Amino acid sequence: MNTLNTLDTALAQARQNYIDKRPESLATFENATRYMPGGNTRTVLFHEPFPFRAARGEGAELIDVDGHRYLNLLGEYTAGLFGHTHPVIRAAVERALDDGVNLGAHNRYEPQLAELVCARFPSMQRVRFTNSGTEANLMAISSARVHTGREKILVFDGGYHGGLLYFAHGGIAINAPFPYLLGEYNATETTRALIRDNADRLACVLVEPLMGAAGCIPADKEFLGMLREETARAGAVLIFDEVMTSRLAYGGAQQLLEVTPDMTTLGKYVGGGMSFGAFGGLQRIMDLYDPRKPDALPHAGTFNNNTLTMAAGCAALRDIYTQDAAEALNARGDRLRKQLNAIARTRGLPVQFTGRGSMMNLHTLSGEVRHPADLDAANDALKELLFLDFLDAGYYLARRGFIALSLVVDDARLQGFAECYSELLDKRGALIAAV
């Protein structure tokens, strides 16, 4: 009880300190609640006691309306790969603006971006663009159902594939109403049996090669290999949701893990950090949308090919996120994660970072993390305390502990973050150990 009281006291003090330093953010939040439920239109950004309000971004830094500066380690949940003010992205958008927006016609950028995407991700023999990763996954699922003539979709507990495809603790009330089968991530043999038991009704398997929202939990290569083998055997479509993980190697996590799906979905940074999504795969599946065919499926979307995103995406893939850049960024992330884990391990504290490459997540527990259920024992109050401590020190990561490194966060800044982490563990070490 004393330990809980101590944690409650430390958290209350950290919250009050946060409130005292952000009067403008508080005033803006209170006004926002008059027009939006909870002053919010994007749930993941909300945190207690209220979210700070960003005023602008410069390179790798955010500045809030109260004047506080933060090193942005959140990286817009992987969309912000290029930082806030990358000159190449800005120049591409400005050129597109000069030619006029909302053209309502095919434009010169979209085939260029399609060629770049298909060349980078060989699983995508043909591609179509959307406005978000959510749309991309909905389209991929629906395409697989039409292609196979089957209805069931295998997803995994804890998986996140967009606002209407979220399977935390089995699923949410507003999920798209497909007939789902729910599997356990990284559970190779039970999932194999589930696929075989439903083979004649299974349209597709939708999986993240690394679970992002669930806590940066990497898939076992054996697990993904089994999915590839069993979906091929069943005649079902294997869909990799690489909206987040496509940044983990030049050709995505599928290249890194050497498992090629039938379809892939993309988003976030591939559109240069603009609103963007894409779904693609085998030509025989994607040709369902060829408008030259009399029985083609329609796929509408006013901004599917909007000029700003198409131009930004071309610059992003062609000129910035090259193979060398991808390898360097993800090696930097691997080094940081190992360094952070060593800091906690030398102190004997139950804190760790999971992940792969430039994506990682803080967890307040020890032991191996292979399934979302492994995180049930984590102490969420302690995680909030560390989150507020990081903000106070000038480092912004997600409330849930998520980090997605951007290209503009250099080694010197990451060393500063590691030193800050070391200091926080020294400050909170007795409390962490007791909890």
pLDDT tens sequence across 312-360 = 999 999 999 999 999 999 999 999 999 999 999 999 999 999 999 999 9
pLDDT above 90 covers a percentage of the chain that reads 98
Distance CA 249, CA 261 (A): 16
> In terms of Cα–Cα distance, which of 306, 276, 296, 291 is closest to 135?
276
How far CA 145 is from CA of 95, 238, 272, 328, in Å, comes to 40, 12, 30, 39
- One of 268, 321, 389, 421 is an active-site residue; which one? 268
**pLDDT the model gives residue 187:** 98
pLDDT tens digits for range 361-409? 999 999 999 999 999 999 999 999 999 999 999 999 999 999 999 999 9
The catalytically annotated residue of 64, 241, 262, 389 is: 241
Contacts of 182 (CB under 8 A, 6+ apart): 154, 155, 156, 157, 167, 170, 171
Does residue 302 register a pLDDT over 70? yes
**pLDDT at 1 exceeding the cut of 70:** no
Element (H, E) at 202: strand 202-207
269 is catalytic: no
What confidence score (pLDDT) does residue 435 get?
82
Q: pLDDT tens across 65-113, in order?
A: 999 999 999 999 999 999 999 999 999 999 999 999 889 999 999 999 9
54 pairs with which residues across the strands? 64
Mean pLDDT of 189-204: 98
Structure tokens at 435: 């909890």
pLDDT of residue 242: 98
Question: What is the per-residue pLDDT across 48-64, written as a single tens digit (0 to 9) for each?
Answer: 999 999 999 999 999 99
Q: Quote the CA–CA distance of 391 and 48 in Å, as a whole number.
A: 13
The set of residues, in sequence order, having a beta carbon less than 8 Å from that of 94 and lying 6+ positions away, is none
- Per-residue confidence band for 5, with pLDDT thresholds at 50, 70 and 90: confident
Render pLDDT for 160-178 as a digit per residue (tens, 0 to 9).
999 999 999 999 999 999 9
pLDDT, tens digit, for every residue of 201-240? Answer: 999 999 999 999 999 999 999 999 999 999 999 999 999 9
Domain ranges of the chain: 87-320
Work out the pLDDT band at 3, boundaries 50, 70, 90.
low
The one catalytic residue among 70, 160, 269, 396: 160
> Above 70 in pLDDT, residue 2?
no
Asked about 241 being catalytic, the answer comes back as yes
Residue 50 has a pLDDT of 98
293 catalytic per annotation: no
Fold topology of 87-320: Aspartate Aminotransferase; domain 2 (3.40.640)
pLDDT digit string (tens) for 231-274? 999 999 999 999 999 999 999 999 999 999 999 999 989 999 99
| Contact between 383 and 364 (Cβ < 8 Å) | yes
H helices of 77-163, in order, are: 87-98, 109-120, 133-148
Residues 131-138: what's their mean pLDDT? 98
